[in-house]
């Protein structure tokens, strides 16, 4: 079995705005998805997803219409759960020219799904890397990131940026603006994550912001204002001015909230973090539920979050310096 892993990520700044060409600064964290791939002679795709727990089901399925998961949840949930892997395998077939090869795919992940930590990007990056290597093709990092981006772009029906997948493929802190993707230096970041146990559907949340932008000019202005926050945030990161980074994260959260992608539980965790003395706190990713990211070198924020109603898990996240890892 060919095995690869890829990290999740948190957004210091710029989610949603990055879809419209503004810059974003995500950084990879040591929460990883691991994907193992074994070619099959019968052309079938079988996926065993240990942690794909949407409404409590795990799946083993084939891509053929008559081989869908026999689970007692709605087809829409099954599609939501399986579409990134299916699309990633299409990228493997395209990259290798092996249009008819089948695969046994096993996925294990410690990244909560739909929570803003980039589980979709990590699964796409690891699946494409392991799948292509399983049939003798090793992609260089740029093509791997690009093909993982195409996976998210296809699944999210064009509502995707390169930020999550470039970050997961590359590791570390990165800056993405349109198709300009680069690694950046960042100071040691005392990252704390709060998770409300919920999830948001990235495609839906991004589509909601798009609709708002089309309806209100001031919503488009809000997206541009996030771009200004990111440009200031980059300078603060380069200066190692964590206090300024934190203030700008707070500001970024307020603008995301105005765009309708926060939630009661995300806001509650953000305020609990701030009241505990966090340098800054904001939702991360598509929003609608899931995770916040806060900066705090002390244990105060993690402790406060663990006692916050609605916070299911609070943990310190280490920066993942390495993106995709080739384990076997």
Ligand X SMILES: C[C@@](O)(CCOP(=O)(O)O)CC(=O)O
Catalytic residues: 164
Strands, E, within the chain: which ranges? 2-13, 25-40, 45-54, 57-62, 102-109, 173-177, 180-184, 191-195, 280-283, 291-295, 313-317, 325-326
State in angstroms the smallest separation of the CB of 285 from Mg ion: 7
Q: Which does 107 bind (CB under 5 to 8 A by kind): ligand ADP, ligand X, Mg ion, none?
A: ligand ADP
Is there binding between residue 201 and ligand ADP (CB under 6 A)? yes
The rounded distance, in Å, linking the Cα atoms of 168 and 166 is 6
DSSP 128-140: HHHHHHHTT----
Is there binding between residue 83 and ligand ADP (CB under 6 A)? yes
Q: Which is nearer to ligand ADP, 134 or 286 (CB)?
A: 286
Stretch that binds ligand ADP, among 10-18, 109-117, 185-193, 292-300 (CB under 6 A): 109-117
State in angstroms the smallest separation of the CB of 126 from ligand X: 15
User: Is 285 labeled as ligand-binding?
Assistant: no
Q: Which does 51 bind (CB under 5 to 8 A by kind): ligand ADP, ligand X, Mg ion, none?
A: ligand ADP
Rounded to 10 degrees, the C-alpha dihedral 181/183/188/189 comes to 10
Stretch that binds ligand ADP, among 81-89, 234-242, 270-278, 300-308 (CB under 6 A): 81-89
Largest Cα span, the chain: 58
Stretch that binds Mg ion, among 69-77, 200-208, 255-263, 310-318 (CB under 5 A): 200-208
CB 13 within 8 A of CB 249: yes
User: Which residue's beta carbon is nearest to the bound ligand X?
Assistant: 285
DSSP 163-185: HHHHHHHH-SEEEEETTEEEEE-
Is there binding between residue 168 and ligand ADP (CB under 6 A)? no
User: Is 122 labeled as ligand-binding?
Assistant: yes
Stretch that binds ligand X, among 161-169, 231-239, 263-271, 312-320 (CB under 6 A): 161-169
The rounded distance, in Å, linking the Cα atoms of 325 and 169 is 9
Nearest Cα residue to 229 out of 73, 15, 42: 15
CB 201 within 8 A of CB 80: yes
Is there binding between residue 89 and ligand ADP (CB under 6 A)? no
CB 287 within 8 A of CB 256: yes
Q: Which residues bind to ligand ADP, rule: CB under 6 A?
A: 33, 49, 51-52, 80-81, 83-85, 107, 109, 113-121, 123, 201-202, 285-286
Q: Which residues are annotated as a binding site?
A: 112-122
Q: Which residues are annotated as a binding site for ATP?
A: 112-122
């Amino acid at each position: 079995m060919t095995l690869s892993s890829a990290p999740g990520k948190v957004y210091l700044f710029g989610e949603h705005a990055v879809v419209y060409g503004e810059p974003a600064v995500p950084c990879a964290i040591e929460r990883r998805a691991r994907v193992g791939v074994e070619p099959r002679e019968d052309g079938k795709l079988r996926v065993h997803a240990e942690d794909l727990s949407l409404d409590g089901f795990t799946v083993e399925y084939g891509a053929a219409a008559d081989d869908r998961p026999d689970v007692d949840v709605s087809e829409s949930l099954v599609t939501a759960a399986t579409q990134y892997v299916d699309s990633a395998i299409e990228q493997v077939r395209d990259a290798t020219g092996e249009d008819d090869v089948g695969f046994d795919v096993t996925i294990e992940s410690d990244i909560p799904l739909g929570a803003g930590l980039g589980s979709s990007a990590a699964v796409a990056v690891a699946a494409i890397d392991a799948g292509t290597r399983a049939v003798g093709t090793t992609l260089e990092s740029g093509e791997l990131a690009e093909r993982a981006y195409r996976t998210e772009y296809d699944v999210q029906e064009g509502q995707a940026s390169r930020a999550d997948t470039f970050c997961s493929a590359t590791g570390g802190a990165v800056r993405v603006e349109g198709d300009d993707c680069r690694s950046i230096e960042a100071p040691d970041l005392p990252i704390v994550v709060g998770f409300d146990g919920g999830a948001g559907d990235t495609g839906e949340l991004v589509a909601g912001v798009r609709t708002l932008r089309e309806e209100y000019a001031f919503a488009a202005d809000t997206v541009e204002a996030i771009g200004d926050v990111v440009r200031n945030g980059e300078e603060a990161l380069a200066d190692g001015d964590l206090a300024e980074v934190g203030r700008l994260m707070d500001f970024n959260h307020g603008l995301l909230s105005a765009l309708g992608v926060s939630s009661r539980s995300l806001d509650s965790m953000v305020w609990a973090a701030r009241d505990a003395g966090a340098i800054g706190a904001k939702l991360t990713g598509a929003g609608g539920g899931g995770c916040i990211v806060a900066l705090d070198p002390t244990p105060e924020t993690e402790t406060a979050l663990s006692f916050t109603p609605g916070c299911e898990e609070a943990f310190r996240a280490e920066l993942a310096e390495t993106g995709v890892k080739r384990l076997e």
